[in-house]
């Protein structure tokens, strides 16, 4: 049956009107076009149109809104019965789809979502469970706008299971019945196989009958929920120009453009979106789409992980010992929040206990666990070594994995496997090992147990094979792999580079040599070292490298000599530590560093962790801060986006007091101190080499500014450049800063942009700047709530001050009169170059003409949009 919202459907309803009603329908349509801003349809065409012709005209000009227009007119001509009948049919289609979705989820849940069918029985949806699911779509604000929820979590943490539960609850009629008429599930791993498609194509795939009522479905976009799962599967940066996006649900286009059009609200902007992806994928997405809420799936908590180990080890003492061992390794314990990886770790340790192996060696790092787990799968329980066939099978599987990483493929068909040496007869063996699973999206596709297992096998490929011998030209050399990994351009490469470094550790090399029966070449290690040396010589490449990624690679290798050598290649380090394990890894690498010249640290709120972490955190922080003493060449030090508790600050303070730590530039941006700030400001006089202090974005109280200014007025302070932009400076602060401008003869640059200065505050500063011995050369006042009235005070200062030559006045409410006075004063400062920070196009035409004319008349005046 064709959609009743198509031209045929409209025609059927127009046929229900008698001749008089039909003419009245046309007259009301004419009135609506004139009064409601509807797209104009020539009246001559409407007037002579038959019912079929009018239906065609409505669909042609109004597309998905054709029925909204028809509804309104039916109401207007007292044919509400037709509107109600149509609404009934619409509800009927929704119920048909709801029943179909319930059937699909009930029948296919084991295959598609890897969930036991009992999980989806109606009695499983307790009020508490429904309430938790409902929370996914509870808006944080009362503002009425389309809801977009970002749900992030690492692969395998349970995002898809949660989506399946939500869809089942909706199909059972337990939630969102009034909010959504349709809920559509779009898996990016699956739809990327289509290359091109229209939204109509995607929705038709989900419909239970040959012909889907697409026009009806999209006619009420506010009643649609699109669930977009595994966004990382498309590996897009979502930065296409607006002009390339699609706003037509019938238009075929590349699926990446189609999804981008939905995400960026070009297509069906009134619909609701629930989007899942890994944290790495969201880094590319967050600033490109507007979202109403973001939620994080954290997976198994500590007690659940403990219970997991207790369930696997029947002996209580053994389970406790094993859990303590895993818990002591933060990286290993961290991956255990993913259920499938928790199973990998626990199984690996259990096997090692059975063989009487060294548990501490197996749990050395993430790579050591993966190596033990994967290699053990290919060795029969009764044997010590694998067969030749098993060796060949693992080689083939590694070849498959490597090609998949380079082609962004995580689901393989039989042709993919056979091309790489994994034949039909091998598939059942790999499925029995559970290293491969049948894909949830297709019975004819196979995936690795977890994407990280594929990453491990891909890394192993480079240790036992050469990319030159790979059947696919997509597989590139290890140097290109390293740079690609460190630049984070592939959002699904989470562990790949780390595993390659980890496999170079002597204990992992011994495992591999025992498994394959020959000594491995050290060429890969040499190549990696040479590649890292190239980074320091290529400035553009260096900017693209993520230092935290590099730290994790070096941490997995755990070779102090190699780490020290690599760190000498990197005179500049910039990293962001987002969790405790990041801090451990960064501290390890920086401990082995002695040649740093520039260091930027961000630890966010890690140092605010719970009490049982506090001691470990401080030890890591101590190791990290030690680089300030061991690297005696640091010229630029930045601490940004960081919370420092009292103990953390005192540790940093003690290292900054070290005479060998004397940076020329010190930047403290968006940092929260929970300490005695007097200690911090005293540092400014102890370092005689400090010439640049940037406290921008760090909130400073009145007492903080008073302390700072007292230090600035001391003879031992040599600061020439002071940046206090966005520091929440209060009214009382301007007197303190004015005193500095009067007394300090070394300060030449002051930035107080984005503070509530106002004209009154600038008047106070200008009194100090009016002194003939004022040393200040540049003053940045961007976005300081100034008006044209302040120009009189600036003129007064400039008339007596010969050193101040640059003033940034961007983003202030200046007027033509004030600027005219200012420009006239600048003309009197002959032979003195003057720079004004103004965006000429921000002003009205008359003021623009004034500024352009002043630039032409005064050869010493430069007007720039940034200073």
Q: Tell me 668's DSSP state.
A: E
Please check whether residue 689 is in contact with residue 717, taking contact to mean a CB–CB distance below 8 angstroms.
no
Mean pLDDT by 10 residues, the chain (867 residues): 45 84 90 81 89 85 76 85 68 80 72 48 66 75 75 90 89 86 90 88 84 83 92 82 91 92 92 91 79 88 90 88 91 92 92 87 94 94 89 97 95 94 94 89 83 97 94 96 93 94 96 92 92 89 94 95 93 92 93 90 83 76 89 92 89 88 93 80 84 96 93 91 96 95 95 96 95 92 95 91 91 93 82 79 89 85 73
By CB atoms closer than 10 A (0-12, 13-18, 19+), residue 326 is: buried
Please check whether residue 817 is in contact with residue 848, taking contact to mean a CB–CB distance below 8 angstroms.
no
Distance separating alpha carbons of residues 77 and 66, to the nearest angstrom = 17
Q: Is the dihedral of CA 407, 410, 411, 416 positive or negative?
A: positive
Please check whether residue 365 is in contact with residue 555, taking contact to mean a CB–CB distance below 8 angstroms.
yes
Predicted structure pTM score: 0.82
Lookup: tokens for 576: 């962001």
For residue 806, what are the β-bridge partners?
A: 778, 835
Sheet holding 806-808, edge to edge: 572-576, 598-602, 636-644, 665-673, 692-694, 721-723, 749-751, 778-780, 806-808, 834-837, 861-864
Lookup: tokens for 645: 């508790």
pLDDT attached to residue 89: 65
Please check whether residue 765 is in contact with residue 738, taking contact to mean a CB–CB distance below 8 angstroms.
yes
Lookup: tokens for 100: 């179909």
By CB atoms closer than 10 A (0-12, 13-18, 19+), residue 509 is: middle
SS3 490: coil
pLDDT attached to residue 867: 54
Measured CA to CA in angstroms, residue 696 lies from 403, 410, 644 at distances of 47, 45, 16
Measured CA to CA in angstroms, residue 815 lies from 821, 840, 845 at distances of 10, 12, 12
pLDDT attached to residue 486: 96
pLDDT attached to residue 344: 93
pLDDT attached to residue 591: 87
């Amino acid at each position: 049956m064709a959609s009743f919202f198509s031209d045929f459907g409209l025609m059927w309803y127009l046929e229900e009107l008698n001749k008089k009603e039909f003419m009245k329908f046309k007259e009301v349509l004419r009135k609506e076009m004139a009064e409601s801003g509807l797209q104009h349809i020539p009246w001559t065409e409407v007037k002579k149109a038959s019912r079929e012709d009018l239906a065609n005209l409505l669909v042609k000009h109004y597309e998905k809104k054709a029925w909204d227009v028809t509804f309104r007119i039916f109401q207007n001509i007292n044919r509400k019965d037709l509107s109600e009948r149509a609404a009934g049919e619409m509800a009927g289609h929704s119920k048909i789809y709801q029943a179909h979705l319930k059937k699909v989820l009930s029948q296919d849940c084991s295959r598609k979502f890897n969930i036991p069918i009992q999980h989806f029985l109606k009695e499983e949806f307790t009020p508490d469970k429904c309430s938790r699911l409902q929370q996914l779509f509870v808006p944080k604000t009362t503002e009425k706008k389309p809801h977009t929820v970002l749900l992030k979590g690492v692969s395998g943490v349970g995002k898809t299971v949660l989506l399946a539960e939500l869809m089942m609850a909706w199909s059972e009629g337990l939630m969102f019945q009034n909010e959504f008429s349709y809920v559509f599930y779009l898996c990016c791993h699956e739809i990327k196989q289509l290359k091109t498609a229209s939204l109509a194509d995607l929705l038709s795939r989900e419909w239970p009958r040959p012909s889907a009522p697409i026009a009806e479905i999209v006619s009420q976009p506010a009643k649609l929920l699109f669930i977009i799962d595994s966004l990382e599967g498309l590996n897009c940066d979502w930065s296409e120009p607006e002009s390339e996006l699609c706003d037509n649900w019938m238009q075929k286009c590349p699926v990446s453009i189609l999804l981008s059009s939905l995400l960026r609200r070009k297509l069906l902007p009134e619909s609701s979106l629930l989007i899942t992806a890994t944290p790495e994928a969201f880094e590319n997405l967050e600033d490109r789409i507007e979202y109403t809420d973001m939620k994080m799936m954290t997976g198994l908590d500590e007690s659940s992980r403990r219970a997991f180990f207790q369930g696997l080890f029947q002996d209580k003492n053994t389970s406790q010992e094993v859990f303590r061992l895993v818990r002591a390794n933060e990286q290993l314990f961290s991956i255990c929040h993913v259920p499938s990886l928790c199973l990998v770790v626990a199984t690996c340790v259990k096997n090692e206990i059975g063989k009487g192996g060294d548990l501490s060696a197996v749990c050395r790092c993430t790579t050591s666990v993966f190596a033990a787990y994967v290699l053990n799968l290919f060795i029969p329980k009764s044997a010590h070594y694998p067969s030749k066939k098993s060796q060949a099978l693992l080689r083939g599987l590694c070849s498959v994995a490597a090609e998949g990483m380079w082609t962004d493929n995580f689901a393989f068909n039989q042709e993919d496997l056979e091309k790489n040496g994994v034949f039909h007869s091998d598939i059942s063996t790999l499925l029995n090992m559970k290293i491969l699973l049948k894909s949830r999206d297709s019975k004819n596709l196979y995936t690795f147990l977890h994407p990280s297992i594929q990453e491990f096998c891909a890394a192993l490929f480079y240790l036992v094979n050469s990319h030159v011998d790979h059947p696919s030209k997509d597989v590139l050399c290890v140097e290109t792999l390293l740079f690609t990994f460190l630049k984070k351009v592939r959002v699904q490469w989470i562990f790949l580079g780390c595993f390659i470094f980890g496999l170079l550790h002597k204990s992992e090399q011994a495992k591999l040599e025992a498994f394959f029966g020959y000594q491995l070449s050290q060429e890969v290690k040499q190549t990696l070292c040479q590649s890292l040396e190239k980074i320091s010589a290529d400035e553009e490449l260096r900017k693209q490298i993520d230092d935290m990624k590099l730290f994790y690679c070096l941490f997995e290798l755990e070779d102090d000599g190699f780490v020290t050598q690599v760190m000498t290649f990197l005179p500049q380090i910039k990293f962001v530590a987002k969790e405790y394990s990041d801090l451990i890894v960064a501290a390890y690498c920086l401990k082995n560093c002695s040649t740093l010249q520039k260091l930027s640290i961000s630890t966010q709120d890690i140092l605010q962790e719970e009490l049982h972490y506090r001691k470990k955190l401080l030890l890591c922080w101590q190791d990290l801060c030690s680089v300030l003493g061991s690297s005696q060449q640091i010229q630029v030090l930045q601490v940004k986006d960081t919370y420092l508790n009292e103990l953390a600050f005192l540790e940093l303070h003690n290292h900054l007091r070290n005479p060998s730590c004397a940076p020329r530039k010190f930047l403290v941006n968006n940092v929260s101190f929970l300490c005695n700030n007097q200690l911090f400001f005293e540092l400014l006089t102890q370092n005689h080499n400090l010439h640049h202090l940037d406290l921008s974005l760090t909130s400073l109280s009145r007492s903080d500014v008073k302390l700072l200014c007292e230090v600035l007025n001391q003879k031992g302070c040599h600061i020439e450049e002071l940046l206090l932009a966005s520091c929440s400076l209060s009214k009382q602060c301007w007197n303190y800063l004015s005193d500095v401008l009067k007394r300090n003869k070394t300060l030449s640059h002051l930035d107080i942009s984005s503070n509530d200065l106002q004209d009154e505050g600038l008047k106070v500063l200008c009194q100090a700047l009016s002194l003939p011995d004022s040393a200040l050369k540049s003053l940045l006042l961007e976005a300081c709530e100034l008006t044209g009235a302040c120009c009189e005070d600036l003129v007064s200062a400039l008339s007596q001050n010969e050193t101040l030559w640059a003033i940034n006045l961007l983003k202030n409410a200046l007027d033509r009169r004030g600027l005219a006075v200012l420009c006239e004063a600048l003309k009197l400062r002959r032979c003195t170059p003057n720079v004004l920070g103004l965006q000429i196009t921000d002003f009205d035409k008359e003021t623009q003409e004034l500024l352009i004319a002043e630039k032409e008349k005064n050869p010493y005046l430069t007007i720039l949009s940034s200073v």
